[in-house]
Amino acid sequence: MAQNKKRIHNKILSQPVCFGTKLSPTLPHHFTPHAADCFYAPSFAMAESEASSYPPIDPTNFDLIIVGTGLPESILAAAASAVGKTVLHLDPNSFYGSHFATLSLTDLTSHLNSHSLPAPPPPPSTSGSGDSDYAVVDLVQDPIYSDIEIEWHGSEDETSKMREDSRKFNIDLGGPRALFCADSCIDLLLKSGAEQYLEFKGVDASLVYEPNGGGLANVPDSRGAIFRDKNLSLKEKNQLMRFFKLVQQHLGGGGDQSDGGGEGQKISEEDLDSSFVSFLDKMRLPPKIKSILLYAIAMLDFDQDNSEVCKDFLKTKDGIDRLALYSSSVGRFPNAPGALIYPIYGEGELPQAFCRRAAVKGCIYVLRMPVTSLLMDKVTGCYKGVRLVSGQDLYSHQLILDPSFVIPSPLSSSLADFPREKIQLLSQRELKGMVARGICITRSSIKPDLLNCSVVYPPRSLSPEQVMSVRALQIGSNLAVCPAGTFILYFSTVCNDADEGKKLLKAAMNALLKPVVSVNSGSIPVVQSDNENVQPIVLWNAFYIQKVFKGKFDSMTSAPTPDGNLNYTDILDATEKLFSQMYPDQAFFPKTETPEDTMDENGVIMES
């Protein structure tokens, strides 16, 4: 099928000032498309006398104010700017990306530690415009990270060298994360024009961890990969090939619905509406093949064979869609050998790319500018604006807040007459769950011939008690995220509590790496692979728990946090839904014909 593709520019974007170039994470910005060289950098912690010395933001009225430069917020800023809305984009941090940021080694440590502490009480609200029609509702940031462990394991010289080279590490706060070559994130980058600010490389291989210390095996994700796979028997290869053929025939749209294996076969509606795991059982696929399909290709979290722990059984029709996404991703781009690609310099480049697009369309950006309060109509209780730490009041029709912002309790005595139901509505955040995340810096690759690879540990691959998948992603120096000779390895798993999640991550790490990470008694036992002589040595590691909040729509919209998925599909779907709720009559990135949006080439070029 012909692909409607555009070129992804492969130039290195490294200058800190001009539009269309890399926004330096160390330089805060306050800029408009008409004054790209105007930078405004209020200190994060400023005294009232210092705050008043900074020039005010002008104008003071906007269609939309956004607080936080995470990926959903940045996409919404670019989408709203593209349809002519006036947008002010603020961030209390000194860098772009919020919870989707890519940070240096020391910055990551500082950020995790500072954002895991309880929020301090808000400072007394300074008078802004003096309009007595508005009630001032204080805001604080409630940490979404907890249970942080950071350890150094290298020699004294290695540790000293890593600290010295801290800024040579670009570490994702919300990893592991990658893009399928055919998923909606690629389409959105092309549709929005943000692709011109990004550069990608292919992830060399997708691996699956085999039970009982079997080590790593390639995911058989194509006809050639199936026949080359030495870990599959001839019978298993034939079974997998027949199943993939059935899926292709079903997606092709021809033939009758039946249970047979004839040409043009389609999967019945009854089967499509059943659980995917029961359909695979009906196809008489062996456990090994089922595990690969469910967890390494369809990327499911919970053990689908365990009805007591599985929170969400995937339907067959959705499972087929996931297989189709994976299959269509393999080989889509010339220099991407597998299904996944990763942005050079890290995940934080994605929100920066959308911020650039928003800025070109007129969005104003100010970093290091905390929002301290909401301005609410005293009579109706409706949102009217925000108050900055500088004391300035700004007004907008709608507001998007970083999900870490909350209203402290108890409320100020000045709000005694404010409608209680409005306060309760403002305080609501929908907690979806938690994700345990781990990061390792290693001295060598988990497979000697691979720089970049993804790994899935299916349920029960580490121990019989394991009921959740673990995902891992190794990124090497060729993606400009670490010095030569080192690798960054990300791990994640969804969890119900911190101890459960961290124990599982430590077991996954110790199964592949030299076991310097201690596993407490009562945890999942560690099953070592047979290749202990080539196991990488861990120089540094971090563990932490991240809360997952769902986006919420109101006059004050809350953006979603990073979830436990490997790709961005669910986050992008939630973001587009929020935009359609905010602006139901506007297109999400309408097609434009202006020169700045016109690309000359029509093929996607990946960095080789």
Q: In this structure, are residues 546 and 562 in contact, taking their beta carbons and an 8 Å threshold?
A: yes
pLDDT at 545 exceeding the cut of 50: yes
Quote the distance between the C-alpha of residue 485 and its chain's center: 26
Average pLDDT over residues 45-49: 43
Q: Given this model, what pLDDT does residue 39 score?
A: 33
pTM: 0.85
At residue 51, does pLDDT exceed 60? no
Does 198 have pLDDT greater than 60?
yes
More confident residue, 444 or 155: 444
pLDDT, the chain, mean: 80
Residue 430 pLDDT > 70: yes
pLDDT for the residue numbered 138 = 87
Whole-angstrom distance, CA of residue 561 vs CA of residue 572:
11
- Would you say residue 579 has pLDDT above 90? yes
Furthest C-alpha separation in the chain? 79
Q: State residue 41's pLDDT score.
A: 36
Q: Residue 243 is encoded by which pair of tokens?
A: 């199943």
The pLDDT of residue 323 is 92
* Tokens 């440590």 found at: 109
Average pLDDT over residues 220-225: 80
Query: Residue 18 has what pLDDT?
Result: 26
Q: What gap in Å lies between CA 113 and CA 109, rounded to an integer?
A: 6
Which range, of 197-206, 562-571, 591-600, averages the lowest pLDDT? Answer: 591-600
Q: pLDDT band at 416, cuts 50/70/90?
A: low
> Which token pair is 576?
């587009």
Q: Are 493 and 505 in contact (CB under 8 A)?
A: yes
Q: Which long-range contacts (CB under 8 A, 24 or more apart) does 376-383 make?
A: 376/134, 376/135, 376/136, 376/137, 376/418, 376/422, 377/133, 377/134, 377/135, 378/132, 378/133, 378/134, 378/135, 378/417, 378/418, 379/133, 381/418, 381/419, 381/421, 381/422, 382/555, 383/555, 383/556
Residue 257 confidence (pLDDT): 53
> pLDDT higher for 257 or 471?
471
Tell me: the pLDDT tens digits for 346-389? Answer: 999 999 999 999 999 999 999 999 899 999 888 777 889 999 98
- Predicted confidence band of residue 507 (pLDDT cuts 50, 70, 90): very high
What is the predicted pLDDT for the residue at 329?
Answer: 92
- State which H helix or E strand residue 442 sits in: strand 430-442
| Strand ranges (E), 203-322 | 205-210, 215-218
Q: Find residue 341's DSSP bridge partners.
A: 179, 202
DSSP 230: T
Q: How confident is the model at residue 238 (pLDDT cuts 50, 70, 90)?
A: confident
Range in 68-72, 130-134, 399-403 with the lowest mean pLDDT: 130-134
Distance CA 357, CA 79 (A): 9
The pLDDT of residue 28 is above 60: no
Q: Who wins on pLDDT, 221 or 497?
A: 497
Percent of the chain residues past pLDDT 90, beyond the cut: 49
* pLDDT confidence bin for 237, thresholds 50/70/90: confident
Q: Would you say residue 415 has pLDDT above 90?
A: no
Residue 202 has pLDDT above 60, yes or no: yes
Q: Is the pLDDT of residue 27 over 60?
A: no
User: What are the tens digits of pLDDT across the range 114-154?
Assistant: 877 766 655 555 544 445 678 888 888 888 999 999 999 88
- Give yes or no for residue 406 having a pLDDT over 90: no
Tell me what percent of the residues of the chain surpass a pLDDT of 70.
Answer: 76
86-91 mean pLDDT: 96
